[in-house]
Amino acid sequence: MNSLIQASDYFYFIQLDEKGIVLDANEFLQNQCQFLNHPLIKSSFSELVYYKDFSNYEFLLKKSLEKGERKFIIDLRKVKSDGSDFYWTRWEFTITSKVNHYSISGIGHKVSPKKEKEVEFPETVNNLHARHDLMEGLLDDNLIGFWNWDIADQSDQLSLSLNEMFGYNPLLNGRGRKNVKWKKHIHPGDKPKVELELKEHFNTFGKHPFHCEFRIKNRHKKDIWVLGYGKVIKWENNGKPEIMVGCFFDISERKKSENLIHKQSQYLKTVTFNQSHLMRSKLANIIGILEIIDPKSPQIETAHFLKMIKTEAKKLDEELRKSISDSNSFDLSPLVDRESAGLI
């Protein structure tokens, strides 16, 4: 079976280590990775697929390991051999346990495209991940609105929905103001990141797309996470940007989920460390007492040590009970199940 897959011109075969590094692959898959400027072997599997799909792969792998399962199936968007776009593939991964580590082998094949809206992106939108982020925003109906920035004149025009998001009444606020409102409302903590992305876009004359996640602070002091995308559509003769257009997608809910997962992960790490430290200290006390007990000692002395062991054992039992109680009471209900959310 292995030799059949290795020689196949239909199935992909790949072997990965725990970190997703490619250990082996059949010739068919290697030929489909010509877009890489280095050998496929020892590369990261994340370079072959859409980054959000790779995140889902890592999630399913972790979930399978926790449940003791050894197989899982997932659909992944793989980069075309020429690097021009993605196409859908279906993979079955098998986890093989070895001494102190494990490896993952996968068999995949191309599948029919999922039904998605056909959107013609401008040729300048050549970043594959940017294109698919925009596509997901359109499919999820998270588009907030558009902006038109006259960089030379330092004025902007915003769609009605953007005016409302910023907290303005579009009927009372004229357009073409001398202040750039969308930049004015960038959260101070995210301004350096946005400015850097804009600078890259300008310096590469649009080849590097403006594609950035940041917070918008509206007039009501509310922070809104957005995915901003934009491009310069008109340049001055001296090569400076003149007019830029863009749009915002609302990603607040996703950011809330990511923040919640991070906080819960940090909480679990803290609980695990504290509880293990306390339990190990109690166990160390018991072991220490056992080591100094002398069978030839008087019965009253031995009884004293046994009483101490009993006391420490009760303390250890209390810590175990507390740890179990904390684990059972830890509420994971706010997390959105990634399967039901369509991430898998």
pLDDT averaged over 10-residue windows placed end to end, the chain, 344 residues: 64 91 91 88 91 86 89 90 85 87 90 56 48 52 79 82 75 47 88 93 86 86 86 88 87 72 66 68 78 76 81 78 64 44 39
* Closest to 321 in 3D by CA, of 275, 283, 287, 277: 275
Virtual torsion, Cα 64, 65, 71, 73, nearest 10 deg: 40
Q: Determine the topology of domain 128-250 in CATH.
A: Beta-Lactamase (3.30.450)
Cα–Cα distance, 224 to 249 (Å, whole number): 10
Write down the pLDDT at residue 178: 42
Span between the terminal Cα atoms of the chain, in Å: 28
* CA angle, 72 then 77 then 79, to 5°: 130
Task: Return the domain boundaries, the chain.
Answer: 2-110, 128-250, 255-329
Cα–Cα distance, 21 to 183 (Å, whole number): 40
Judge: domain 2-110, CATH 3.30.450.20. Answer: yes
* Closest to 168 in 3D by CA, of 191, 189, 184: 184
Could you check whether 2-110 and 128-250 share the same CATH topology?
yes
Write down the pLDDT at residue 121: 45
Question: Alpha carbon of 137 to those of 52, 131, 172, 245, 343: distances in Å?
Answer: 13, 10, 30, 17, 14
Which uninterrupted H or E stretch holds 314? helix 299-329
Cα–Cα distance, 304 to 330 (Å, whole number): 39
